[in-house]
Structure formats: structure tokens, C-alpha cells
Amino acid sequence: MPALRVSGLEKSFRTPHGTVAVLNSVTFDVEKGEWLTCLGPSGCGKTTSLRVLAGLLEPDAGSVWLDGAHGSRLGRTAYLPQEDTLLPWRTALQNAMLSAEIDGRPLAAARAEAMGLFERFRLLGFEDVYPSQLSGGMRQRVELARTFLSHRELLLLDEPLGALDPQTRASLQEWLLAVWNEFRRTVVLVTHDVEEAVLLSDRLLLLTARPATVRETVSLALLPRPRRRADPGVVAERTRLLSLLAPEVAP
């Protein structure tokens, strides 16, 4: 049984200028513990897909099974939205503990766990700092810590490293991989960065331009881990994907 089964998702939005079809028969599975990455042109419907997976948006047609069950998915996934969603009035630690509070878990235990993760996330010393005082890279790490601390099996990450400079981004990629190795969750990641996708994923989902449909699935199971940017296999896969995706990027 796959951790997540998505079948025939359709979604269109009604706007003042007419109806916009965004998802067109999107179908895929994700196995437990697998890292699946969605690559697709800007505006193709990646965020819309994740919002459907998180249970925030009802699809017009199609279904989603989480651990084989079909019911509401609100409260059952760890969703990291594309935009900055740290609450400015909460300190870094309080932000990271939000999910525990909402679950009604004992706060002392949640706090201890969060502190442990802060150490792992190199955020120690910044527990009581407000988000406005954190650098971009640190804010992203707090958001990731919050996502990992939510005790959900499925992580939905919408361009978590999207807004960072290349250097911070590269170091966070390696670091994210190390953390994932340690905490092993099922991941659906959305990104624009082909290299990032090749470095991190077990499998890639290539989406077409809007309305998004799965154009191709690429298994990276044969690329040995840990992967480095300069590994010949990584470079070759990246080059192949870039030329494959190039026509889709053009207007």
C-alpha cells in the first residue's frame, strides 16, 4: 500500500476572465519513506496540487488516499507553504512548537523535542528570537523544524529553499538531506531547481505547463547516495533533464 495515492485529480478555478483549468488528470503514487519531487514550469499548478494533497482544496474530480484511507486530510500532513508563514509574534521556538500546541500535546515534552531539533538544525541560541530578527536561511530552517516537529508521516514541501541565495541554498540542500536520512519521512517536494531535485529525490514527477498533468516519471533509484553536485551521474541526469524541460520553459 503506498503512503499516498493520487488518482485523476482535476481542478479548475473560476476567475472574472473565465475558467482556468489547473490540474488535468494528475495521477501518481508515493511509497512510504520515499522522496518524490515535482518539477514543472511556473504557474503550472504545483502549489494547487499540494493544497489538494493537504486537504485544503477540494478537487473537482479524482481522489487522494492517505495510507489507504480516503477521508479528510486536514491535520494529517505536514504542509510547508511556499510563502513565509512564520508567525511574527511568536519566537522561533514557539513557531516550531505550533503543531504540538494545536494537537494538544504536552508542552514540556514538545519543548524538549523542539530544543533537540534546534540543536540538530543549528538554531541553538535563537529559540527566543522573533522571526524579524532571523536571517533568511534561519527562517527557512525554523519553518523546516516546525514541519518536522509536526509528527506527520507525509511532508509536503512547497519550494522550501526557493527564496534563498545559491550558497545558502546549496548548504541547506545537503543539510536537509542529512536531516531526512535521520528522520526518514515520506516527502513530496516542489521545486524549480533541477539540480536540487536530482540531489535529493528518489523519483521525479515532471509536470506539463498548465493545466498540469504528469508528463513523465523519472526514477533516480540507480543514482547512489550520498550524492554530490559534481558526481558524473548527477551531472549527466541534470543535463538530460534540463534539455528535456527546456521547451516547456519557453513561453
Partner 1 sequence: MIGRILIPASFATLLLGVWELAVRSFGVPVYILPPPSRIAITFFTRFPMLARHGATTLGEIALGLTLAASFGFLLAIALHHSRSLERGLRPFIVASQMLPVFAIAPLLVVWLGYGVWPKVVVTALIGFFPVVVSELDGLRATSRETVDLLLSMGATRRQLLTKLLLPASLPSLFSGLKLAATLSVVGATIGEWVGARRGLGYLMLESNARLHIDLVFASILMLTLIGLLLFGALRIIERWALRWRDSAGGSASARRGGG
The interface mask with ligand ATP, positions 11-40, x = CB under 6 A, is --x-x----x-x-----------------x
Residue 43, binding choice from partner 1, Mg ion, ligand ATP, none, Cβ under 5 to 8 Å by partner class: ligand ATP
CA distance 85 to 83: 6
Number of residues that bind ligand ATP (CB under 6 A): 14
Cell of 77: 500532513
Residue 15, binding choice from Mg ion, partner 1, ligand ATP, none, Cβ under 5 to 8 Å by partner class: ligand ATP
Instruction: List beta partners, residue 214.
Output: 207
The candidate with the shortest Cα–Cα distance to 10, out of 57, 56, 75, is: 57
Cβ distance 136 to 164 under 8 Å?
yes
Interface with partner 1 (CB under 8 A)? 51, 54-56, 74-79, 81-83, 85, 87-91, 98-99, 101-103, 122, 125-126, 129-130, 132-135, 137-138, 150, 156
For partner 1, give the closer residue by CB, 85 or 208: 85
Task: Verify binding: residue 47, Mg ion, rule CB under 5 A.
Answer: yes
**Nearest distance in Å: CB 250, partner 1:** 29
The candidate with the shortest Cα–Cα distance to 191, out of 183, 176, 54, is: 176
Sign of CA dihedral 78, 81, 84, 88: negative
**Nearest distance in Å: CB 208, partner 1:** 25
Segment 104 to 133, residues that bind ligand ATP, using CB under 6 A: none
Segment 161 to 220, residues that bind ligand ATP, using CB under 6 A: 210
CA distance 244 to 236: 12
42 Cα distance to chain centroid: 16
Q: Considering only 60-68, 82-90, 180-188, 239-247, which stretch makes contact with Mg ion by CB under 5 A?
A: 82-90
Q: What residues line the site for ligand ATP (CB under 6 A)?
A: 13, 15, 20, 22, 40, 42-48, 82, 210
Q: What residues line the site for Mg ion (CB under 5 A)?
A: 47, 82
